[in-house]
Amino acid sequence: MAAAVACAPDLYARQETTESSAEKETPESRRIERLGEVTTDEWEMDLALPPAVDKTSSVSSDTTLPDEAQNRRLQQLLSSLAANPRDAGVNARLNELLTEVLGQANELMDAGSFAEAERLILIVQSINPSLPNFNAAKARLQSQDEVRELLEMADAALQAGQVLEPVNANAVDYFNQALAKDPANSSARDGLAMAQGVLIDRALEYARELDFDTAGEWLQEASSVIPDQRRVEAAREELQAFRLERAVELREQAISAMDAGEFTVADFAIIDLIALGGQEAWVASLRARLEEARLYGGFEPGQVFADKLNRAGGTAPEIVIIAADSYLMGTRENSDDSYDHEKPLHRVTIKLGFGLGVSEVSVAEFRRFIEQTGYRTAAEVSGSSSIYDEAAGRLSNRSGVTWEHDYKGKKADPELPVLHVNAYDAQAYVQWLALETGKGYRLPSEAEYEYVARAGGKGTYWWGEGSPSEAVENLTGERDKSPNKRQWTTSFSKYGDGHWGPAPVGSLADSELVHPMAVKDIAGNVSEWMADCWHDNYIKAPTDGSAWVNPGCKRRVVRGGYWASAPEQSRAAYRFPVNADSHGPVIGFRIARDL
């Protein structure tokens, strides 16, 4: 009897106690009285002749279904039930019909026909509001006012081109809110499909204008709107066709320019081809052809300039041209302030000039790289980095510290050198510069670094020996004090630069005592990653100034003193090994560039 209409037992009990027995009733005297507002907590079907139907009831007493065949079934079942309320078969067939009607109501709501759906739901409610899924259908109907309002706002936003913006008030957001209230709403689903189409059209428009990066970004946005990716994939294929067409055009431009002797024009065509991406073989071939066509030149030693960033806008960090020369690298056997890994002393001949970053890479310069590429540093991936704990006087690990923080783990000023980066992060940055400019950006070799740190001479430091006479580097000075009045135990005598911790890049410079090669922060501020793998000595080291690299090496060379280094660590010859995946508050990097 569980499947029967909920009222049947109550109906039977009343019929046994009524003053008029069932035998005295005639079929004509039986009819069904629709109750007014009913609930699932207290409901019954009264088949006795009522004195009168309440004319003021807020719910219609009409139990006529709009479908003629269904209505005949309903009336027959209701009549049969009136004659025999305990008939389980009739109850089951009635519930089956009502379930069918409820399904039709849901289909009508799917199609947006809410008035028709409401009529069917009211009929089901008047007969059996305990029917499974009735409450869900009724709640859905009641929420449709909100859904209709959301759909109207979504359509208006779509017409205004506000597909994804502004946040929380755009077409995609409104359609998704409607689906949250009514997951089966076909209008909302169709609206999201239309929104995806608008984003795809935008992407293809940018592709036709040769802005492939922006086109790719819009396609990525389109892929997040709905799970169906067929139109997105088709657009990607069309985008690739545009890209290939542009690549062919740029290749022909570069070749024509080289044939005409217009090497600058050829350079720009190759750079555009690099920025386009996916044509590495063509780029390599064109570069080799251009090298054969001319020798790269036009710079002077000591000249400072910055390459333009073609896609990101702005410029790369400033570099200074370092002249080719020869010098003695390392320390002598009988030197008192030296280590075995700085030996043997050997001659290095730098045959080609190169560019070296004037200063260390700053937080602001590194930020541009992150924003353009979405690259995540090792500290961001691991979720922590080491910082300087002044109270303890040592380094300690802290969660949430990344390249955006300073040596204490606080938000870094844009002009400070970038910290909390490992060797791979530094390498990723110079590779990005190479792609952005079409130039040979890289990390310096330690031979190049020592050459500049010595200023081409033989002194211990670029300024000679002992403490500098003026504040030209961020070194550990005897006069330096921390915010808590701490002092260095080992420091440059009678020296002070006013900094405890890293200083803004290139900020320390004296009008008279200047580095002869125009670099800054070469002996202090922060230590710097080199391109070289670590070797315990210079036996078999390159003599041409190139980096000494073993594929897959785990330790890299770090050069230069940092803000807390002892004076000996600021020597031009000083070098130390660090795991390539290490990051913290003492190591940054500067760039180098082939000419």
Q: In which band, very low, low, confident or very high, does the pLDDT at 113 lie, cut at 50, 70 and 90?
A: confident
Tens-place pLDDT, residues 332-353: 887 777 899 999 999 999 988 8
pLDDT of residue 276: 81
Tell me the average pLDDT across 11-15.
31
Fold classification of 144-228 is 1.25.40
Q: In which band, very low, low, confident or very high, does the pLDDT at 112 lie, cut at 50, 70 and 90?
A: confident
- The rounded distance, in Å, linking the Cα atoms of 302 and 519 is 9
Average per-residue pLDDT in the chain?
86
- The rounded distance, in Å, linking the Cα atoms of 256 and 254 is 6
pLDDT of residue 47: 35
- The rounded distance, in Å, linking the Cα atoms of 137 and 132 is 10
DSSP structure string for 74-131:
HHHHHHHHHH-TT-HHHHHHHHHHHHHHHHHHHHHHHTT-HHHHHHHHHHHHHH-TTS
Residue 57 has pLDDT above 70, yes or no: no
pLDDT of residue 292: 60
Residue 40 has pLDDT above 90, yes or no: no
Tell me the average pLDDT across 52-66.
52
Task: Spell out the domain ranges in the chain.
Answer: 8-132, 144-228, 240-295, 340-349+353-362+417-594
Residues sharing a CB contact under 8 Å with residue 583, sequence separation 6 or more, in sequence order: 377, 378, 379, 385, 386, 419, 420, 421, 422, 425
Tens-place pLDDT, residues 355-369: 999 999 999 999 999
Which CATH number does 340-349+353-362+417-594 carry? 3.90.1580.10
- The rounded distance, in Å, linking the Cα atoms of 25 and 198 is 69
pLDDT of residue 510: 67
Tell me the average pLDDT across 424-438.
97
Tens-place pLDDT, residues 484-538: 888 888 999 999 998 999 999 999 876 678 899 999 999 999 999 999 999 999 9
Tell me the average pLDDT across 195-205.
94
Q: Identity (one letter) of the amino acid at 151?
A: L
pLDDT of residue 401: 98
- The rounded distance, in Å, linking the Cα atoms of 317 and 469 is 29
